[in-house]
Structure 1
Amino acid sequence: MPSPDPLLWERDREQAVLSAVIGELRSARPAMVTVTGEPGLGQNDLLCWAAGHARNAGLHVLTARASPAEHELRYGVVAQLLAEEGPTTVSRLFLTQDRPGGLPGLNALLAAARDRPTLLVVHDVQWLDQASLRWLEALARRLPQVPLVLLTSSTGTAIDRPEWNVGTPLTGLASTIELALPPLTASGTAAAVLAVCGTPGDPAFTEAVAGATRGIPAVVHDVLDRFTRTGRRPDAEHVDHLRALTAEVVGDHAARALSELRDPAAVDVLRALAVCGDLLDFPLVCMLAGPHSVPEARLRAALGASGLTANRDGSPRVPDAVVRARILEEMPAGDRADLYARAARLAQRVAAADQGIAELLLAARPVGAPWAVDTLRRGFTAALRNGRRDRATAYLARALDEPLDAENRVRVELQLASVQMVIAPAAAERRLHGLIRSSGDCAGLRSHAVDLCLLGGDTRAARLAGTGDPGPDGGRGQRAVPGAVRAAGTGENAGPPDTRPGAELPCPTSRAPGDPAPGAAQGSGTSQAPGPRDGVPAEGAAATPGAPVADPAPAAEPGDASGTDPAVAERHELTALARVARFLRHEDSELDVLPVPDLPEHSCSPAVAGVRAWEQAVAGVHLDASRRLARAAFAPDPTGRPPLVVPRLFACRALFLSDDGDEAEGYLGALLTEAHRQRAAISVAHVLSVRADLHIRHGRPDAAARDLAAAEAELPPARLHPLFVPYWTSLNLVTELQNGRLDRAREAAARPVPPLAEECATTSYLLFARGLLARVEQDPHRAREYFRASGRWLLRYGCVNPAVLPWRSLAAEAAHALGDGEDSLRLAREEVHHARRWGAPGALGRAELSLAVVSGENRTEYLRAAVATLGESPARTAYTRAVLALASAEREDAAHQSAVARTSSNTALPAGDIDPGVLMDIPGQDRHAHHGAPPARGGPPPPGTPSRTEAAEPAPRHGLSAVESETAALAAQGLGNREIAAALSVTTRTVELRLSGVYRKLRIRGRDELRALTQGSEGS
């Protein structure tokens, strides 16, 4: 149990020493004892305890206390000691001249002590006046001659350190003891919590008490006393309240100590220390405080005696932020700001650390010097590097208070908004809207402000920019309908698409190296106008209801039509961003001030190229032109304008829709490096999310999970704009499915989304991902509803291309599982039709594979075509699935033709065949897909045109033996090699050899792709 006196907790050792000294004093043995420590450690309380203990032992006790108020009063402490001798002796003290040998009352005190052992107790000797100090030193020299003990206490470093504290031969044969009081230990703090609160504290609570109070008994007692009066229990739930109370108590103690500091020079130096003590050396701090006549050593002693500073590396420091605030709060605001400004100038002259100077500038008035802005921007970079985004934004906001030219001011505001998009998106939007509305010098950066707004989810900013001229119709044109989407219409009123080769690439910078010059013929599959065929409805026209029959050619730009003029180039960029905003958010309830114009027909702007590439990709037309435009989005701007982020992200998405995923991954890596270099967290997060989408499409769920985790570290989900919530949720959901974590996938699917998230284009991704989950859970009815709902959203936004999301093929397989053969065939043929029009092997191969699944007749031919097509694409999961399905179909065909195969079902399969019940029976797929209904009349013939199958090599037979199939099935279920070996009664080496053969025959790289194959997440 601790002592009843809170300030004597864990002072048993010191009390034992003092008891021994008092016991020896009764035997006429003199001693000199000094108790030291920080304020609040209980020095004076320990002296009071010793005085009471000596009185109880019958000793004569004289006490005195030095104070800052009496520091200049001669013999102030001696007068307190000799008060019992009578007023005559005390009055003589103040009348005695300061001459050698003038020590009034000392001889009388020594004579009395010889007759009666005496204990002299002097508190706070750091505040001794000079006369009392000399008097006590003279007493100390005479201690060996009398039975007297001098017991003193001090806090910090005394202004004039008494000689007896250093253990010199001054005291002769008298014992000299110095007791340094330590803070409370962890066990002592726990005992204090029990004593004050009446109940043991949680370990977390006790640890918080020790850390916040630094184990100082006075602070511990006051904090726990206030905490107990609130009625709370000492547990971990109330740690935050405890820290708030600790700040109040520490501030009160600091204010009390500050009120006792009377020296004006020491006060000025203390304020300068509170401002920049951690940045500048103590001589520089004294210089900052102003001219004074007090020696540096005396200032150090005065600050140490106040208890407000602590020595660190030989210099005084104010260690606590609460104490620094209390020291500065009494200064007038103008004086305080001026002190910070002078400190910043001094720190800049001595080349102090940039971030330290930036901290000083935060509280300083504007200094009006160029170095201030440069220092704040460097501090901004350092703060972001350390993960302190709130501090980084404070630095840039302070830089805006300095005088800046218009261009630099806009650049600083853009840089500030890029960070605020993550921590304070509403403030960032207001700042960017102000930039967009303004004119003059900042007009050249409006497109970058709109680009940043789109990354943050703000689609209104594009309308504020006032994109383009109304055109020859005076602004009465149609609403924003992508020209590429209108050209992709297949209804009877839809005109043919613009098949002019290179029409979108009139200038050299918009054409990738090696591409044909304008006027060259395009390849097959990109210049054929799609029309009604095999009963396929015209979904391109349905995507834009009410669209005109044809898109009128836009009027030529006045002046420089190619966009090399800076004003025209910016107008082109703003037009491209307005098209992106229109695509991301479909707001039928809002009337735009001006219709969103079409993209300029002739432009060298990389932003226009990237957005046009995406529009053609989602419309499913002009594969080669879309690919060239996507590459041109990464070409340097001919006007030297810095590139935008959003158009390049859409260009990357267009590239992996055209099966150029490796190229898109390289561009995304460059974008990520650029975003990291610019410290743009919002850009980093979006680039990582798009790359995660690419990893998912290529069957790399582990890499996708890493990118998603990194994206959420840059942009926490709580800060994510509702516009992007469905997309990010879908990526997490599909990643968990591919990694085999079904429970986490269900949690992601059940996670609520904001209402605004259900009104944007990304809703289709979440619906599609929920359909995949229902497919894995073998719920075809729910899966078909989700896939159809996803398709309706895609068509609403003009997304016809099955490479975006293959919702038709998966809805067809779900309908086939439900026995709706007619609907499944219709959807599968539509998918094949749109995929063939787009021309990418990955989309076409997946569509052909789904058509084979729902078809009854000619299934083997369909599968062979799918294998041949997917062999040219990076969709390895879909390719492996097609290979397995083809092997199963060929085995069934052979079984029908061979009586031996029908009678030998219990024997081992020959090499090159595959057991259909091992790998084909996987969750999320139709187990009876090969028993489907025959194709309907008028359906597309088996794929075998010369442009596809005749030019390609015949697909090899990638069959597995029975033992390989069995081993692969166990590995796909997540069993390790040892578990598989134990189940099959073989060695681990045999399992490794069998799996190596499986990977080689199926053309996959390991268990991840094998697991992804079994979960049927291809095309997602």
Structure 2
Amino acid sequence: MATSLSRVVGRGQDTVAAWRDVDALDVLVERTEQVELLERLVSGLADRNSAAVVVRGRPGTGRSELLRRAGELARAHGVRVISAAGSPEESSLRYGVVSQLLGALRPVGCPLWTHPMWTDPSRDAELLPMLCRDFLSVARKAPLLVVVDDAQWADAHSVRWLQAMARRLSDVPLMLLLSLTSGSAAEDAQLPSTVSAAVVPATHLIDLRPLSAAGVRQVLAAAHTGPVPEAFAAATAQITGGNAAVLHAVLRHFARAGLAPTAAQVPQVRASAVRAVGERVDRLLAGIPAGLVDLLRVLAVCGGHLDFELMLSLAGPRARSASGTLDLLARTGLVRLHGGNPELVDATTAARVLAGMSASDRAELYARAAQLAHRCASADEGLASLLLGARPIGEPWAVEVLRRAAAHSREHGQPHRAGELLARALREPLDPVVRAQLVVELAVAGTPSFPAAGDRRLGELISEPGGDELAPFRLRAADLLLARGEAELVRQHLARAVHTSETPALLALYWLAENSSPDDAGLTSPDLASVPPLPDRPTDPGQAGAAAWRLAARGQDRDRAGELARAALHAGDLTGAPLCPRVAASRALMLGDDRVEALAGLDQVLADANRLGATSVAALVLGLRASVGLRFGQLDEAERDLGEALRRVPLRDWHPRLAPGALAVAVLLHLRRGEPGQAERALAEFAAHQPDGAVQGAAWSYLLFARGRLRLAVGDASAALADLRECGRELLARGWTNPALLPWRSVAALAHHALGEQSAAARLLAEEQQLAAAWGAAGAVRVAELAAATVLGGPDRTRTPAVPRPDPATQLLVASRAAPGRQGEPEPATGPAPVRPLTEAENRIVQLAVRGYPNSRIAQELAVTRRTVEQHLTRVYHKLGIPGRHHLGPALRHTGGRAGEED
């Protein structure tokens, strides 16, 4: 089903894994051909066959291990092995690598070490041949393997010596084996360094590439005693990039921690891989020149956005003064070429390079890079990326670039990116109108990453002081905030704004927000109590829409509600008109069985939301369209609309107060399709990750209703009744009594009937029939009479072809619960339940409540707290056996105006 909700949830606890000794594993997986080549070359030394071999690869691809294996093979064949390693610290030390090699051949007291040519650079022409002769003389006596690891860091004098030795290989059984850091073949061809020149003219060149996915699986199988899931192996290969050193670091972490190789532990793979890369970068940064570190930081900030010469200028004098800077960069193994310019190899390396800077220094570097890129007319996307990390620039172009880039991101389905860019633009010094525009644009982006910040800014904009130039933005801010589900926040800010604004639609939004919350919620200041009511005959379309909904939700004057709704939807030019009043008008028409007009109104709002780019509002409207389809039996249309709503905004990203409404439609669709198991799974998945605040919105009533109907359908009448009574309490607290909205009384009556509580069922049905008749919509009347026919056994006398189909799920439940009563048992009494007496305090509160006072006003009149009023009213409802405030009047009339007193 298109509306099915799914989520990958971990099952149980991972068992402690059994890992072998990771350090004892063969690290030369997928290196068989290279090892065999080196063995042939080493064994050939006995036949006086010399060679020069260069092993190239990225750090972590096994270069050093391959050199170590070659040394073992050489010793096994009786070949003498001497070795050295280049390092950044010794890259400028004259004959540094040669000195390491010579130390393995000649004791410290050897006259060669004290020869004056060592300390006299002018005598290099004499020293170089002498060193060559000394090594060649050793090789003539016995085959010799000379190993130099990380030769890219060899000093220039040692490089010349290596090249000279390579030219003399034919004379003696000597093998030179060097390793170099390098990248792709294309990069090596472009870099003007010893890396691309391979240091020496090699007779054999070995390029080591990262492990394949199959190679990673082979290592995992060797490391773990049990089976390794394919999903874990694939994720590990992707995260490590086949880098053998990183892979082994991950395995060591898993072995130490006793973690099992399961999908649930993939985040641990990512964390340990990042840690391994970071540690390697830290070691390298500690040994390279300060100027090179400066340049690497510039690359981390703007690699790919600026030419190399511009990055050099940005890096400062220490980087510019370094000779062969591009050559030095290539030696680090931290860079790759992109469009001919160097950039860091990955985001983890970039983050580690920048970690050594303070936050203010980083922000300053980003700002300088952005200003330089702006002067060079860089593209918006790259420039915006630099501005994201920069301190406020204080120039208009920065805001313009960020807004253009945000619009581009929205158009290409990147709302998170758009939100980041707009939030960054708001940090710049701004004109009030521009700031208001940005706040609205950020809200329209509707990204889950910025709900709290976006809502706060919208609220501040609503009540922000200013002239008429801010009025359109205040209206849009209140409209978007209400559409997001933040009714209370809208009420708080609009209660002040409506007194100073001449925008009539703001009053409409206030009363829509007030109607979306319990009548006493949030009343904490005189401002909220002094908001003027909606006019009896509103001329503003927004006020007409709000008034239509208030009448429809309360089941009052269907003709007038329809007239007002049509006025809201057909008021001429609605360009710039708020969306929420038109949604309210469409819902009012839906309750009046005007399906075609309701859908037309929602389509109009959907088109405007799409035009504005308000994805979250569009998803909400699509969800409402789905509820219209469900109500009138258009199940395919409902399923399609809900599927599109959840495609645009996944349920996890809906506002917590709106998500229950979308889920309710999904549950009811599953029920109508005869899929109670699917409905139960959807509810269980939501409950496992239920967001904070989900129970606080009006949509929670819809979910209670859907869950109650599901529980009744699967035979749990007691649980169903609890949900349905709570649904009724929530609706009545808002003053929403119209059974066309949610026929909770009819379904609760079915639950009472299933439990054998016939009198309670009869009371609810009588009330529902009375309210449905007062509203006058044929659909609501039909639902009530269908339920009555099932519970009371009366004839179904209301079927006519002109009556719209009732809610299909209710129809299904009525049919499923239509079972004959048990024989031999009397029907329970149908008279009113006995009334428990009320205390004097309860009577005082009830009298004020019946007069229409909200709880805050009652508290003020009686000098008590709102919480006290709420507690008393809850006890009164239980004593009188009624679901809420709306029933107080009839209950008091039944008892003669007072419900008695307790001693």
- Which position in structure 1 is the counterpart of 2:342? 316
1:405-484 to 2 correspondences below 5 Å: 405-417=431-443, 422-423=448-449, 425-441=451-467, 442=470, 445-465=473-493, 467=495
- Which position in structure 2 is the counterpart of 1:869? 802
2:629 is equivalent to residue 692 of structure 1: no
TM-fit CA distance, 1:856: 8.8
Question: Deviation string for 1:244-293 (max 9, x for gaps)?
Answer: 122111101011122332272x4333222211213344444345435789
2:545 is equivalent to residue 613 of structure 1: no
> d(CA) in 2 for partners of 1:225 and 1:843?
67
- Which position in structure 2 is the counterpart of 1:632? 567
Check the 8 A contact 2:786/2:814 in 1, yes or no: no
Equivalent residue for 1:738, pick from 669, 672, 686: 672
Instruction: Compare relative contact order (CA 8 Å, sep 6+) and give the higher one, 1 or 2.
Output: 2
> d(CA) in 1 for partners of 2:177 and 2:586?
81
> d(CA) in 1 for partners of 2:647 and 2:492?
31
Equivalent residue for 2:605, pick from 671, 674, 685: 671
1:219 maps to amino acid: V
TM-fit CA distance, 1:438: 2.7
- Which position in structure 2 is the counterpart of 1:227? 254
Check the 8 A contact 1:74/1:131 in 2, yes or no: yes
> d(CA) in 1 for partners of 2:484 and 2:813?
44
Greater shift, 818-827 or 610-619, is seen at 818-827
> d(CA) in 2 for partners of 1:293 and 1:787?
72
- Partner secondary structure for residue 104 of structure 1: helix
Check the 8 A contact 2:491/2:514 in 1, yes or no: no
> d(CA) in 1 for partners of 2:720 and 2:353?
67
- Which position in structure 1 is the counterpart of 2:35? 15
Question: Deviation string for 1:787-808 (max 9, x for gaps)?
Answer: 7776666555444544334456
1:685 maps to amino acid: A
2:428 is equivalent to residue 402 of structure 1: yes
- Which position in structure 2 is the counterpart of 1:923? 816
- Partner secondary structure for residue 534 of structure 2: coil
TM-fit CA distance, 1:694: 0.4
- Which position in structure 2 is the counterpart of 1:161? 194
- Which position in structure 2 is the counterpart of 1:804? 741
Structure having the larger proportion of residues in helix: 2
- Which position in structure 2 is the counterpart of 1:662? 596
Greater shift, 755-764 or 699-708, is seen at 755-764
- Which position in structure 1 is the counterpart of 2:122? 97
2:354 is equivalent to residue 328 of structure 1: yes
2:580 is equivalent to residue 646 of structure 1: yes
CA gap 1:410/1:30 in 2 versus in 1, 3 angstroms: same
> d(CA) in 1 for partners of 2:683 and 2:319?
74
1:869 maps to amino acid: A
- Partner secondary structure for residue 867 of structure 1: coil
Check the 8 A contact 1:599/1:608 in 2, yes or no: yes
Equivalent residue for 1:238, pick from 245, 265, 271: 265
CA gap 1:774/1:130 in 2 versus in 1, 3 angstroms: closer
2:191 is equivalent to residue 257 of structure 1: no
> d(CA) in 2 for partners of 1:11 and 1:856?
83
Question: Deviation string for 1:7-27 (max 9, x for gaps)?
Answer: 544433322222211222111
> d(CA) in 1 for partners of 2:699 and 2:264?
40
- Which position in structure 1 is the counterpart of 2:330? 304
2:79 is equivalent to residue 59 of structure 1: yes
Check the 8 A contact 2:492/2:522 in 1, yes or no: no
> d(CA) in 2 for partners of 1:4 and 1:813?
70
- Which position in structure 1 is the counterpart of 2:9? none
> d(CA) in 2 for partners of 1:306 and 1:97?
31
2:238 is equivalent to residue 211 of structure 1: yes
Contiguous gaps of at least 5 residues in structure 2: 1-19, 183-187, 822-903
TM-fit CA distance, 1:366: 1.4
CA gap 1:311/1:824 in 2 versus in 1, 3 angstroms: closer
Question: Deviation string for 1:189-246 (max 9, x for gaps)?
Answer: 3454466566664444443433333233333333322332233344433322232122
- Which position in structure 2 is the counterpart of 1:78? 98
CA gap 1:666/1:355 in 2 versus in 1, 3 angstroms: farther
Check the 8 A contact 1:36/1:178 in 2, yes or no: yes
- Partner secondary structure for residue 869 of structure 1: coil
> d(CA) in 1 for partners of 2:773 and 2:465?
48
TM-fit CA distance, 1:651: 0.8
CA gap 1:804/1:134 in 2 versus in 1, 3 angstroms: closer
CA gap 1:616/1:167 in 2 versus in 1, 3 angstroms: same
CA gap 1:7/1:806 in 2 versus in 1, 3 angstroms: closer
> d(CA) in 1 for partners of 2:717 and 2:66?
81
Check the 8 A contact 1:844/1:869 in 2, yes or no: no
Question: Deviation string for 1:375-419 (max 9, x for gaps)?
Answer: 222333444456554443322221111121102212322333455
- Which position in structure 1 is the counterpart of 2:406? 380
Check the 8 A contact 1:722/1:754 in 2, yes or no: yes
- Which position in structure 1 is the counterpart of 2:160? 134
> d(CA) in 2 for partners of 1:304 and 1:366?
34
Check the 8 A contact 1:33/1:177 in 2, yes or no: yes
Check the 8 A contact 1:63/1:121 in 2, yes or no: yes
- Which position in structure 2 is the counterpart of 1:576? 508
- Which position in structure 1 is the counterpart of 2:869? none
Check the 8 A contact 2:249/2:272 in 1, yes or no: no
Equivalent residue for 2:534, pick from 599, 605, 612: 599
> d(CA) in 2 for partners of 1:577 and 1:182?
63
Which has the higher Rg, Structure 1 or Structure 2?
1
1:804 maps to amino acid: L
- Which position in structure 1 is the counterpart of 2:56? 36
1:760-799 to 2 correspondences below 5 Å: 765-766=702-703, 768-769=705-706, 772-773=709-710, 776=713, 794=731, 797-799=734-736
TM-fit CA distance, 1:652: 0.8
- Partner secondary structure for residue 274 of structure 1: helix
Check the 8 A contact 1:337/1:365 in 2, yes or no: yes
TM-fit CA distance, 1:634: 3.4
> d(CA) in 2 for partners of 1:7 and 1:878?
65
Contiguous gaps of at least 5 residues in structure 1: 169-174, 472-565, 882-918, 929-1020
Aligned length: 780
Greater shift, 620-629 or 814-823, is seen at 814-823
TM-fit CA distance, 1:582: 2.5
Greater shift, 403-412 or 338-347, is seen at 338-347
> d(CA) in 1 for partners of 2:46 and 2:786?
106
TM-fit CA distance, 1:608: 0.3
CA gap 1:653/1:293 in 2 versus in 1, 3 angstroms: closer
Check the 8 A contact 1:420/1:427 in 2, yes or no: no
TM-score relative to the length of structure 2: 0.75
2:24 is equivalent to residue 24 of structure 1: no
TM-fit CA distance, 1:184: 3.0
CA gap 1:843/1:583 in 2 versus in 1, 3 angstroms: same
Check the 8 A contact 2:779/2:806 in 1, yes or no: no
User: What is the aligned-residue RMSD (CA, Å)?
Assistant: 4.4
2:35 maps to amino acid: Q
Question: Deviation string for 1:303-349 (max 9, x for gaps)?
Answer: 12111113345543212222111212223444422221232234344
> d(CA) in 2 for partners of 1:380 and 1:201?
43
TM-fit CA distance, 1:653: 0.3
2:365 is equivalent to residue 339 of structure 1: yes
> d(CA) in 2 for partners of 1:721 and 1:121?
64
CA gap 1:226/1:623 in 2 versus in 1, 3 angstroms: closer
TM-fit CA distance, 1:36: 1.3
Identity %: 39
2:802 maps to amino acid: T
